[in-house]
Chains A and B, each alone.
Chain A
Amino acid sequence: MVKMLRDTVRKLFDEKKVDMVIGWGEGTLPLSATPVFIENADEADTLIWDERCSNNLAVYLTKDKRHLVKSGKKIGIVVKGCDSRSLVLYAVENQIKRENLVVIGVTCDGVIDIKKVMKRTEGKEVLDLRIGDKDITVGGRGFETVVAKKEIISDFCLHCAHPDAPVHDLFIGQPRPANEKADVYKIVDDFEKLSADERWNSMVESYSKCVRCYACRNVCPSCYCNECFVDQNDPQWIGKSPEITDTLIFHMGRNMHVAGRCVECGACERACPADIDLLLLNKKIAKEISERFNYEAGLDIDEKPALASYCENEKQDFIMG
């Protein structure tokens, strides 16, 4: 896989089809890969692709990195299923010109959730990692454990219906069709069974640990407003301290702003330095969008976004009589 990826990228440079390729390279910690920006064929060998490549690289096409797209460079980008959906979203929202991108899909079986690994090692630091076909061996001072991949894969990935880039120009490996059987909204279904009080208390408990560093927002490909509502200070929209009310307004505001736009990549949750469960609310909104508007973000460049179109047969039951 990795060899194919490197060869493909080298060829793209040789044939002058790209000026830059955004992909993942070896990180400095055993469990992390790091985004790399490759500008010539020789650098293709720094590319890697495996379960550590958890960032959604689409983020480098908008926000503070918009200059890359604006430069008119022909950009190649390595994508998992969710990352490719972000590119579709950008095309739908006129943030990129699809024809200026070379989208390189890779077969994805999910990415590692570091906090799940840490649970398995009981908090012991991982110093060594070997990735096998079905399982991963992690080792540190005085221990070595073999873990089945599915036990340390991000929850987002466990419930992903589109692991292989639905939209791509090139594909490394064989793209599989959408996983119709993926239990996409299971966590939401379970949550909805709780009483209102239980739901509220669990929200408050979970979000009260948030330090408002905005890593979740900043790694999110769908959050690319020029000025986020939390950064507006004239007038100021919400309090800046991590008081639970303001924190919940931030998160719920963000969830509503990415409603019908969230590609369920999980980058937000994996980036969070305080381990907040960010999956649930995203999934809840995605479920609503799917049930009410029969829409999933980032699958079809020609489909109108859920919240930017109207159909007569949409559910109206939210309108109080």
Chain B
Amino acid sequence: MIKIEKSKFSVFIQNLVGDFTVFAPVGEGRQSAFDEVADAESVNTALQNTVQSPKSIFFPQTEVLFTYNDGDVQIPEAADKPFFLWGVRACDARSIMLVDKVFGRAKQRPDDPAFEDPYWKAKLDTAVILTLACNEPASTCFCHWTGDGPFEQAGDLWAVDVGSSYLIESLTEKGKAVLERIENASPAGKTEAAEIDSLRTQAESYLGDLVDLSELKDRMKQMWDDPAWDDIAAKCVNCGACAYACPTCHCFDVQDEGKKGKGKRIRLWDACMFPLFTKEASGHNPRGQAADRVRQRFLHKFSYYWDNYGESLCTGCGRCIYVCPVNLDIRTVVKRFLDIDAAV
């Protein structure tokens, strides 16, 4: 583990900018997001977390899969530089790994053929992710429910903000290669380790009560046609705000844009909350009612994905709670299915 004075932070970013496309938290409030930065000055280091999640770096809202022109098909060139992500939170680093199970190295069961999405993989395989410990989890954070924590180590590098400097540790070879580029960094010692411990204890004290989700998968499924879903869905207005903000929601639509023989095929975000999402060519919609779509969102998070990959597709980042216009709080829904006192 090394120590970089914050006054040297801009040198650190500058050092990377030439060889990497550097992404970091920028912007304020609901427009805060991970975006490409050219220097350290553009980074917003005061955010608890960005409201727009970093998923768009690897899974852009719109992505051209190929262009076509009279039978000539061109696949867009991969990015020329690898990505470096500064300041991803543990929950978000984990979300990338959860989506990677679907797009990246998926082999759900031994008899399944592995599938690799080349667009996702090209970006992720070369990327270096630096996770920054959360000194101040927000009141909407519940990453401890989903098996994570504000100081959980994830990604290629792990950093802690200790006030006047950042302590950085490499977790992978890719991470190590980046650390080696840093000149004049001093090694971190025992004092720093103690500092980390006290920050961790403080951060964890900000989190609410722990809820054990191990029963949830089966509960939700057993209660598939329970009237509880109608109660939960009553206030939902079926917008896509939660799914678009969610770092793990990864459903997409594929469309052709262009005219006669010339155009592009794009992949774009979609959301199970939209009525069009499951509408079939016949006009029939298996999830025709709003409540069916609300149930789908929660079951995908806590049941279906769990069946396939052995964990929940929620990292407890709390974004959906923050953006929902009617305050439909995912924690309340979870508690209701676990019979923990909670009114929805």
Range for the number of chain A residues in contact with chain B: 35 or more
Tell me whether A64 and B61 are in contact (CB under 8 A): no
Interchain CA distance A211-B33 in the complex, whole Å = 12
Tell me whether B257 and A55 are in contact (CB under 8 A): no
Which stretch (A6-14, A102-110, A236-244) binds chain B?
Answer: A236-244
Tell me whether A218 and B238 are in contact (CB under 8 A): yes
Which stretch (A30-38, A70-78, A92-100) binds chain B?
Answer: A30-38
Q: Does B266 contact A (CB under 8 A)?
A: yes
> A215's closest neighbor in chain B, by CB?
B239
Interchain CA distance A65-B138 in the complex, whole Å = 33
Interchain CA distance A30-B138 in the complex, whole Å = 12
Q: A215-B325, A219-B325 are in contact. Are A115 and B29 (CB under 8 A)?
A: yes
| Complex interface residues of chain B between 287 and 343 (CB less than 8 A to chain A) | 289-290, 321-323, 325-329, 331-332, 343
Q: A28-B329, A123-B47, A215-B241 are in contact. Are A275 and B31 (CB under 8 A)?
A: yes
Interchain CA distance A275-B52 in the complex, whole Å = 11
Tell me whether B61 and A55 are in contact (CB under 8 A): no
Interchain CA distance A30-B327 in the complex, whole Å = 11
Tell me whether B325 and A213 are in contact (CB under 8 A): no
Interchain CA distance A27-B140 in the complex, whole Å = 12
How many B residues have CB within 8 A of the partner chain?
49
Tell me whether A28 and B327 are in contact (CB under 8 A): yes
In the assembled complex, how far is the CB of residue B60 from the closest CB belonging to chain A, in whole angstroms?
10
> A30's closest neighbor in chain B, by CB?
B139
Interface centre among A119, A212, A213, A272 (most CB of B within 10 A): A213
Of the candidates A32, A123, A243, the one whose C-beta lies within 8 Å of that of B46 is A123
> A37's closest neighbor in chain B, by CB?
B234
Question: What B residues does A219 contact at CB under 8 A?
Answer: 237, 239, 325-326
Interchain CA distance A130-B216 in the complex, whole Å = 36
Q: Does B39 contact A (CB under 8 A)?
A: no
Question: What A residues does B266 contact at CB under 8 A?
Answer: 241
Interchain CA distance A98-B18 in the complex, whole Å = 66
Question: What A residues does B62 contact at CB under 8 A?
Answer: 241-243
Q: Does A144 contact B (CB under 8 A)?
A: no
In the assembled complex, how far is the CB of residue A96 from the closest CB belonging to chain B, in whole angstroms?
18
Q: Does A185 contact B (CB under 8 A)?
A: no
Interchain CA distance A29-B28 in the complex, whole Å = 20
Q: A46-B343, A55-B326, A231-B276 are in contact. Are A64 and B238 (CB under 8 A)?
A: yes
Question: What A residues does B238 contact at CB under 8 A?
Answer: 64, 218
Interface centre among A34, A55, A212, A272 (most CB of B within 10 A): A34
Of the candidates A30, A65, A233, A273, the one whose C-beta lies within 8 Å of that of B323 is A273
Question: What A residues does B82 contact at CB under 8 A?
Answer: none
Question: What B residues does A37 contact at CB under 8 A?
Answer: 234-235
Q: Does B268 contact A (CB under 8 A)?
A: yes
In the assembled complex, how far is the CB of residue B336 from the closest CB belonging to chain A, in whole angstroms?
13
Q: B128-168 vs A: 1/0 string, CB under 8 Å? A: 00000000101110000000000000000000000000000
Tell me whether A55 and B325 are in contact (CB under 8 A): yes
Tell me whether B255 and A240 are in contact (CB under 8 A): yes
Tell me whether A34 and B327 are in contact (CB under 8 A): yes
Interchain CA distance A59-B343 in the complex, whole Å = 22
Q: Does A125 contact B (CB under 8 A)?
A: yes
Interchain CA distance A59-B61 in the complex, whole Å = 28
Q: B46-75 vs A: 1/0 string, CB under 8 Å? A: 111001100000000110000000000000
Question: What A residues does B275 contact at CB under 8 A?
Answer: 227, 231
In the assembled complex, how far is the CB of residue B294 from the closest CB belonging to chain A, in whole angstroms?
10
Q: A31-57 vs B: 1/0 string, CB under 8 Å? A: 011111100000000100000000100
Interchain CA distance A67-B240 in the complex, whole Å = 22
Q: Does A118 contact B (CB under 8 A)?
A: yes
Q: Does A209 contact B (CB under 8 A)?
A: yes
Q: Does A191 contact B (CB under 8 A)?
A: no
Q: Does B244 contact A (CB under 8 A)?
A: yes
Question: What A residues does B20 contact at CB under 8 A?
Answer: none
Q: A37-B234, A123-B28 are in contact. Are A218 and B239 (CB under 8 A)?
A: yes
Of the candidates B29, B271, B327, the one whose C-beta lies within 8 Å of that of A29 is B327
Interchain CA distance A21-B290 in the complex, whole Å = 21
Question: What A residues does B253 contact at CB under 8 A?
Answer: 240
Question: What A residues does B290 contact at CB under 8 A?
Answer: 64-65
Tell me whether B327 and A270 are in contact (CB under 8 A): no
Q: Does A271 contact B (CB under 8 A)?
A: yes
Q: A28-B329, A29-B321, A213-B241 are in contact. Are A242 and B61 (CB under 8 A)?
A: yes
Question: What B residues does A272 contact at CB under 8 A?
Answer: 30
Q: B10-51 vs A: 1/0 string, CB under 8 Å? A: 000000000000000000111100000000000000111001
| Complex interface residues of chain B between 266 and 287 (CB less than 8 A to chain A) | 266, 268, 271, 274-276, 279
Interchain CA distance A32-B322 in the complex, whole Å = 10
Tell me whether B235 and A35 are in contact (CB under 8 A): yes
Question: What A residues does B276 contact at CB under 8 A?
Answer: 231, 233
The list of the 10 closest CB pairs from A to B, nearest first, reads A271-B325, A215-B239, A241-B62, A64-B290, A34-B327, A273-B323, A218-B239, A27-B327, A213-B240, A275-B30
17 residue pairs of the A-B complex, CB under 8 angstroms, read A29-B321, A34-B328, A35-B235, A64-B290, A213-B240, A213-B243, A215-B240, A217-B239, A218-B237, A231-B274, A231-B275, A233-B279, A241-B61, A273-B51, A273-B244, A274-B31, A275-B30
Given A65-B234, A214-B274, 12 other A-B residues pairs in contact with their CB atoms under 8 A = A28-B321, A34-B327, A35-B234, A63-B237, A64-B290, A141-B136, A209-B31, A211-B52, A231-B275, A240-B255, A273-B241, A275-B31
